[in-house]
Amino acid sequence: MQVMGSLVCTQRVEGFAHQNLRILRTSKGKLSVATDPVGASPGNWVFTASGSAARHATGDPNLFTDLTIGGIIDHWLPDG
């Protein structure tokens, strides 16, 4: 997924804590919001964890999230 930008929410439920939020886009153009414990910037390609793995990837399994950036991709060679 590619980071498109940040999402700013001043009013949050307690379960979101003070996590940075990023807007991500899939290769097919679908947009999602993910927590970002790694500090990704707009334009970065990232890999994500979803479901219960997303909560563990933040370092706080009680955090209220279903999608977390797990790392920034520095380089890869796509198939084909």
**Domain ranges, ordered by start, for the chain:** 2-72
User: Has residue 18 got a pLDDT over 90?
Assistant: no
Q: Report the alpha-carbon distance of residue 42 to residue 48 in Å, rounded.
A: 15
Query: pLDDT-based confidence at 63, cuts 50/70/90?
Result: confident
The DSSP bridge partners found for residue 24 are: 3, 32
Q: Which residue has tokens 């790392």?
A: 71
Q: Across residues 26-41, what is the average pLDDT? A: 95
Q: In what order do the strands lie in the sheet with 31-35?
A: 2-6, 21-25, 31-35, 67-72, 46-50
User: pTM of the entire structure?
Assistant: 0.87
Q: Which CATH architecture has domain 2-72?
A: Beta Barrel (2.40)
Residue 15 has pLDDT above 90, yes or no: no
pLDDT category at 32 given cuts 50, 70, 90 is: very high
Does the pLDDT of residue 80 top 70, yes or no? no
